[in-house]
Structure 1
Amino acid sequence: MPLNLDDLSGYTVTALAADLDRWFADEERVDVGSDIRPVTDFLQLLPSADAAALAAFDTLVRSGRLAQFMDVYDWSYGFDFAANDCAVHGAEHVWALAADGSSNLYVVLPDGSIRIWFHEEETLEEGTGFDNLDVFLWTMVRYRATLDGSLELAEVEDDLRALGQPGVLHAELGLLASLT
């Protein structure tokens, strides 16, 4: 039976590290250094489950144990939009997680959802988001494992579709479109 969103609740806290060890044990580790601003203030804006997920992810990022399965770098993680004279039209507060490979950033919004900040227009892209960090990270791990050939698309495609995430299903920009 395909997954649903409730099945992934708590994934970042309980299962992300094991999945990264399984599929990315030999991958380079993220090193963001110590100058990244603290996530603490942003955590206060999130619903409790989303705050727990981001706190767990932040701990992995800063520990140097996170496999480089996404573009998490010192210039992308925790990117300070105001300090870099960048606007985020459509949201007052966001936390940057990683780059998407095209200078855009995956960001967490205060409601816990994940969106892509489109750098050219300094706006949040419509129709390509994720409901929360747990489903986003679960998806990105499997997306990268599929790209690397560690996982067959057929093994996860039904779950990816069943989760109903626009960032996966968008006809042109979704992750499935890039895998098929």
Structure 2
Amino acid sequence: MTVTLTDLAGYIDRDLDADLARWFPDDEPITLEEEVRPVEPFLDRLSPAGAAALAAFDRRVRSGAMPQFMDIADWVYGFDFEANGVEILDSDYETELTDDDVYSIGADGSGNYYVVLTDGQVAVWFHEDGALEEDTRFDNLDVFVWTMVRYRAVRSGRLDRAEVEDDFRALGQDGVLHEELGLLNSLRPIKR
């Protein structure tokens, strides 16, 4: 039986720690050495479920104990776009957004940032265009984190692709299924 979005509600607070311990027990922890933008003002802009997910994620990131399962560092986590003179355009490539509209939670390793939006979705901010791409989003932070944990576990050879592919397809997330930019397109173990 495949997983549903309803099944993943509350994932970060309920199941993330066990999944990270299972697949990334010896990975280096996330270390934020510099001050990062506080999350609390942004939490007020989210729905209760979205705020609970981001608060749970934030506690784990700042704890110094969460394994580095995706690119999270003080230069990207809570990135202050305005203070750094960096533009954020909505997916129409015209509407300018501000730090009040997004909270950066990680990077993809090629200069693009994953950001939580005020509607609770997770989008990719593409650094080349300074814009949030419409076709690579996740419905919410719980499904994004659940997906990224499994994606990284497959890429590191700790989980078999066949164990997650049906779930990825059933969840129907653009960030996974987009023909060119989705994670499923690159879901192969990295040879060591």
Alignment partner of 1:28 is 2:20: no
Runs of 4+ in 1 over 6 A off after TM superposition: none
Structure 1: 5+ residue runs without aligned partners? none
| Alignment partners' CA distance in 1, 2:34 and 2:40 | 15
SS in 1 for 2:179: coil
Letter in 2 for 1:21: A
Deviation at 1:66, TM superposition (A): 1.1
Q: Where does structure 2 lack aligned partners over 5 or more consecutive residues?
A: 91-96
| Distance apart, 1:125 and its partner CA | 1.2
Corresponding residue of 1:124: 132
Alignment of 1:147-158 (within 5 A): 147-158=155-166
CA distance in 1, matches of 2:37, 2:109: 22
C-alpha displacement of 1:70: 0.4
1:126 CA drift (Å): 2.1
Q: How many angstroms does 1:18 deviate by? A: 1.0
Overall identity of the aligned pairs, in %: 59
Listed one character per residue, the Cα deviations across residues 24-69 of structure 1 (whole Å, up to 9, x for unaligned) are 0100000012501210000000000110010011000100011100
Supply the distance in 1 between the matched residues of 2:34 and 2:129 (Cα, whole angstroms): 30
3-state DSSP class of the match of 1:21?
A: helix
1:29–1:64 contact (8 Å) kept in structure 2: yes
Structure 2 partner of 1:66:
66
| Partner residue, 2:109 | 101
Q: Which whole-Å CA distance do the structure 1 matches of 2:148 and 2:64 have between them?
A: 19
Partner of residue 174, structure 1: 182
Instruction: Name the SS of the counterpart of 1:127 in structure 2.
Output: helix
1:134 to 125, 136, 142: 142
TM-score scaled to structure 1, two decimals? Answer: 0.98
Tell me the residue number matched to 1:86: 86
SS at match of 1:95: strand
Q: Is the 8 A contact 1:106 1:115 kept in 2?
A: yes
Residues 148-176 of structure 1: CA deviation (Å, up to 9, x unaligned): 11100001110000000000001111111
User: CA RMSD, aligned part only?
Assistant: 0.9
> 1:179 deviation in Å?
1.5
TM-score, normalised on structure 2?
Answer: 0.92
Q: Is the contact between residue 33 and residue 62 of structure 1 (CA under 8 Å) also seen in structure 2? A: no
Question: Which residue matches 2:121?
Answer: 113
